[in-house]
Structure 1
């Protein structure tokens, strides 16, 4: 993709809309919708890098209640011709066609490479990557198993979604647990993953979410790791102007 002069690519992740309650997350959603409205005038593309919604499960004819303002704004943006790309996170991984069919937004379940103005990007939510997080990797295999999803869909939505929301808000990152601190490069597993990938191929930027921490780490002279932070505590987002990628804050 070549970015037209005066245009930019925007990145955001970890909004967790709906957590801990719909009422509590409403101000965050309003800020996010206002941000989408503000950037649409110069956006060449928008990347939503996972956990937009704190829990999402698509039944055959039902999707979770709420998020109307966000979904409506995304529809407006894609209808205007601005592409939006969505990477599932560990909280909204049960996507099954709704975003593609209703919002014209492609959905990716794994990290993907992109090239903008000759700069190579490796983009993904970040969950389950790297040498650690083994417990989560095992749980993810269960959650993405077709049999598990088939069994879950037979729960009435009022029951299934209530259970999932309860478990979701127990997540330490949502509750603001102190674990969401910078651990140092040698202990940040997404940094380690990025360095390993550089042994295979050059990338100018690695862009992830999931850690809920805004981070910019120079991996070598020509490669940078960027974690987008979140829209719970930091309200940070990434901007690529065609030459450089940087984090900004509302």
Structure 2
């Protein structure tokens, strides 16, 4: 029997830049999930699955039903799926846990698999700088802010959020480029973390650029995004590597 593998992906950003492009990306992600489900032991989705998400008491944003159905199918088959809260979908509460059976991760998650130690996080608000966002993150995650937003009619609340999303990097199809390594803030964060505790792999999303960087005996990996790269990582029990998905040609 083929050894089961662990898959990691992030930053699907369902919802941008428009309905048509988002639906095409949803089909692509569903095709990827169909391909990996036969060899997956676990699936970790490290945040910004949606470009906006908020759960009202009895209302959720419309759409993305094919993706949700596929996740439910995978969980029902016995494969654990983990959703991390990103900066665009930090307002996940109980819907996905109750309806789909996924496990919601609010911040970091540390796991050990195959004798390797993993540090997992979406990546937002970490490392030096970005003080303004770090303050906003505390506000947006506060119980009062969530309570207040829930008081808004869904048409108004989701409309406001959609306007906010129009300013996002991926809404404007900005393809990220590698900076000097000294300017890669998640690399700096990883180095600081490794000075205190050993991890074999430190895996993040958020940066929107597939990166695989050796840090001594450890490895920093960024998962990229699914508008420009369709990138993900897979751990086969011995090593972790970045891969790129191309939808099979059934024609």
What CA distance in whole angstroms lies between the structure 2 residues aligned with 1:5 and 1:205? 23
Q: Is the 8 A contact 2:53 2:92 kept in 1?
A: yes
> Partners of 1:217 and 1:143 in 2: how far apart?
32
Report deviation, 1:185: 1.3
Distance in 2 separating the partners of 1:44 and 1:196: 31
Contact 2:4 2:41 in 1 (8 A): yes
Q: 1:79 aligns with which of 76, 80, 98?
A: 76
Offset, 1:188: 0.4
Q: Distance in 1 between matches of 2:68 and 2:232?
A: 19
How far has the Cα of 1:172 moved from its partner?
2.3
The two structures have a TM-score, normalised by structure 1, of 0.95
Match of 1:228 among 223, 228, 236: 223
Structural mapping, 1:151-162, within 5 Å = 151-162=148-159
Q: Following TM superposition, by how much is the alpha carbon of 1:5 offset from its aligned partner in structure 2, in angstroms?
A: 5.0
Q: Are 1:188 and 2:194 counterparts?
A: no
Q: Partners in 2 of 1:30 and 1:8 — Cα distance? A: 22
Distance 2:129 2:219 in 1: 21
2:14/2:22 contact within 8 Å kept: yes
Q: Which residue of 2 aligns with 1:197?
A: 193
Partner residue of 1:249? 244
Residue 10 of structure 2 is aligned to residue 26 of structure 1: no
SS at match of 1:153: helix
- The CA distance in 2 between the partners of 1:23 and 1:164, in whole Å, is 19
* Contact 2:16/2:170 (<8 A) preserved: no
- Out of 49, 54, 58, the position equivalent to 1:52 is 49
Partners of 2:17 and 2:170 within 8 A in 1 = no
Cα deviation code 1:109-150 (max 9, x no counterpart): 111100001100000100001112211101111111211111
Hey, which bits of structure 1, 4+ residues long, moved more than 3 A?
none
1:169 Cα deviation from its structure 2 partner? 2.4
Between the aligned partners of 1:23 and 1:119, the Cα distance in structure 2 is: 40
Q: Does 1:177 align with 2:182?
A: no
Partner of 1:131: 128
Q: Secondary structure at the match of 2:181?
A: coil
Which residue in the other structure is 1:238 paired with? Answer: 233
1:192-213 Cα offsets, whole Å, 9 max, x none, are: 0000000111000000000100
2:164 equivalent in structure 1: 167
Tell me the CA shift for residue 236 of structure 1. 0.4
Could you tell me how far apart the structure 2 residues matched to 1:192 and 1:52 are? 25
Deviates more, 1:30-39 or 1:139-148: 139-148
Alignment pair present for 1:99 and 2:96: yes
